[in-house]
Structure 1
Amino acid sequence: MGAGRILGAGSRWAGALLVTLTVLRTHLAHCTEPREHFLLQSKGDCLYTNGTGRVRFLYRDIWDRQPYVHFDSDVGLYVADTELGRPSAEHWNKDPAILADARAAVDTFCRHNYGVAQTGKVVGRTVQPKVKVSPTASGSGPHSHLLVCSVTGFYPSGIEIKWFRNGQEQTAGVVSTELLQNGDWTFQILVMLEMSPRRGDVYTCQVEHISLRGPLSLNWEAQSDAARSKMLTGIGGFVLGLIFLVPGLLIYMKNKKGRPIPQPAGLLS
């Protein structure tokens, strides 16, 4: 599905807008003074199904956030949404040129812009997701943890993410964030799994996306408490060694710089 605003739609569209403004002035002349701040908008949307297999063009005039007249290509006529839009709808429906332009916009505006977008690699563009799996502690239970599958930088937005434990799909304890836009035409999402890992369990985050040739899977294997203790002990020993090594190295370099340079024996006599 796509949407676009009418840009440079031609003199007939400009004439239609002029009629709209004239009607507004006539309407307001018989009313009290208008509010100091108001907004008049004209919006054109293109709705695509199966590429350009089926295209719907929708044009709307909006006064102060309320649509008052619109054209729908599925109907083929202008329709008033409020009494304010009735004179415009009746006038435009009686003008063969304006009505012909609106009916042709499915091709001249929507399908044309779709082709331009394809040339610019906007339509059909895909970006592969980046996937990362990381554990974090959970407050739900003494031995509960969360596995977070972070999927970032993908386009388009349609994506399917599943969790597996030892090859069996997990549906309970799965929580997902909302799909977030990155502002660069890519998206990101987090899908979390609450788990109580046992030694040897293999958890898999599986991602399916149109940019991938097949499902992308990333594994995380639960470690035993002993293995975790050994790893933490090794990291602690390495850090402790650095703590003692750095001061010693600094003292050595300082003493080396302050030591007098030996002079040749002939210069001392």
Structure 2
Amino acid sequence: MALSVIALILSAGAACGYIQTQSHNFHYIYGCYESDDVRVDAVVDGDVVAYADFNKEEVVWVLPHLPQPAKDFKKMAYGVAKASTAHCHSVLGKAKNADPGAPLRQDPPDIYIYTRYEGEASVMNTLFCVANHFYPPTINFTWTKNGVELTEGVANLRYRHNRDGTFHMISTLLFTPQPGDHYICTVEHQAAKVPVSKSWELKENKMSRVSPEAVFFGVSVVLCLMGFGTGVFFFIKQPN
């Protein structure tokens, strides 16, 4: 029984404060983890509309236009979030003490890398590095270009829940690709024995691999054939 309680707390957190109206439903979820990470989200119709930022000590709303009732509720919401984390840690501690030998869930991430637009030399683009289906939520992204670590142009989006209790997170890199540049996204997670990396480089246009000498030779051959064909034509047309 203790093991199932730990799994519930660690994978899904706790849902509470559920409210439903004729057209919408609202609830908030909270979770605490072995890594000391804590998450509190406000959810409307299945979408996260706000979350607690414990570094800034405030609730951050992700809606573009915040209604006045939500603004008035903002300060009280942070107090609710703080109380939720205290309760979560208390229940987590009791569950761990009930069965200290229970194994903790760990799932390594699946990694994908892709660009916003089709890669083109000297044209600004965005690289996305996606880590999916990992648990617990603590994860680290590192970007390198030709072996040198990058910090400028890097942004890490906030991790989000999957329906199976795991998480996904995206790191982005704003860059301008050039031929020969080699980009690598490396992801570190405690469930992976070694860091996992995915690479990207600009694909050469097949036409760009044709040398000027080859082009000159090809054009010369065509002109010679055209001249030869013209000479044969006039020779045949010559009167006897």
Q: Which has the higher helix share?
A: 1
Which of 1 and 2 has higher RCO (CA within 8 Å, sep 6+)? 2
Q: Give the TM-score, by structure 2 length.
A: 0.45
Q: Give the TM-score, by structure 1 length.
A: 0.41
> Which is higher, the Rg of structure 1 or of structure 2?
1
